[in-house]
Structure 1
Amino acid sequence: MSKTSQQNTTAETNGVSVIYTQAHTSGLQQVPQLVPVGPEGGGKAAPPSKQGKKNSIIDRNSDEYRQRRERNNMAVKKSRLKSKQKAQDTLQRVNQLKEENERLEARIKLLTKELSVLKDLFLEHAHNFTDSVQPLATESSATNPDGSGQ
């Protein structure tokens, strides 16, 4: 294990504290911390790209502001139309699936009825077959093994 000499210095810029540390003899390194320096504490610091825009005053009469608002309004309309279309597509799909489900349930009823009829035919045929075979079995058991018939 080697000893590391650490020297910490802190600077404050745009509400973000930056700690400079010196490890070994490599010089100072910048390590940004994501905690606001203000007294309210907690939360995350805003990304650097947003920090500059936050402080600027918006002129609501400027062309740039009007263009931004127009683009935003168009984006909102597009998003709402897309959402409405998705809801309509989903409703249409639900209706299709309901119709298909009804068709399949009707087919199940038909096939169940057909199965019942075929089972009845099979059981009737099996019963008739056993009735025709059974008397032969009783006749042979009724005769005596000596062949006298008594």
Structure 2
Amino acid sequence: MSRPSQPKLTADHNGVSVIQSQAHASSSSSLPAVAGLQQVPQLVPANSSSTGGKALPPSKMKKPPADKDSEEYRQRRERNNLAVKKSRMRSKQKAMDTQQRVNELKEENERLEAKIKLLSKELSVLKDLFLEHAHNLADNVQPPAGPEDTTDSAGVPQL
């Protein structure tokens, strides 16, 4: 009785392990041979225990250290330096724009507070005028004529 072959574990150039197994059917095997059936290789990360079974994204994969004298390294550093400068310039510009907006809002707030004070003073003056006018009207109104006080419309007492 022959045994099926054990799966082979190989690693490709990206550090991913590949499990390959092949079915060998022999005449003395107790397993029936299935014609036309192929097994598909399974891809498994090389260090699946440390990543929880998930493959790392390309940005997290370790790259071989570049030679610091190489042209590729120099170009990457130059691009990175330009990107950092651009990022810092954008950050400074955003901070300046925000500060300018803060200053504009402070000025607008001061203008609005001054307008509130002016309108409050105007309201107070108008209230005082209204109350004075209402008081004067109340003083000019005659009480209704009673039985002992008889006056005509001009305020002259009648006998």
Please give the range of the TM-score, normalised by the shorter of the 2 chains: 0.5 to 0.7
In 1: Cα distance, 2:42 partner to 2:60 partner: 20
Identity %: 57
In 2: Cα distance, 1:32 partner to 1:65 partner: 32
In 2: Cα distance, 1:32 partner to 1:99 partner: 65
TM-score by length of structure 1 reads 0.64
Question: Which AA in structure 2 matches 1:73?
Answer: N
Q: 1 or 2, which has the higher helix percentage?
A: 1
Describe how 1:82-121 pairs up with structure 2 within 5 A. 82-121=90-129
In 1: Cα distance, 2:40 partner to 2:135 partner: 96
Compute the displacement of 1:106 (Å). Answer: 0.4
The structure 1 residue matched to 2:67, chosen from 59, 62, 87, is 59
TM-score by length of structure 2 reads 0.61
The structure 2 residue matched to 1:130, chosen from 138, 146, 151, is 138
- Based on CA coordinates, which of the two structures has the bigger radius of gyration? 2
Matched, 1:46 2:56: yes
Residue 6 of structure 1 corresponds to: none
Higher relative contact order (CA 8 A, sep 6+): 2
More displaced 10-residue stretch of structure 1: 122-131 or 40-49: 40-49
Q: Which runs of 5+ in 1 are unaligned?
A: 1-8, 19-26
In 2: Cα distance, 1:132 partner to 1:32 partner: 105
Compute the displacement of 1:41 (Å). Answer: 5.2
Residue 78 of structure 1 corresponds to: 86
Compute the displacement of 1:37 (Å). Answer: 3.3
Residue-pair matches, total: 124
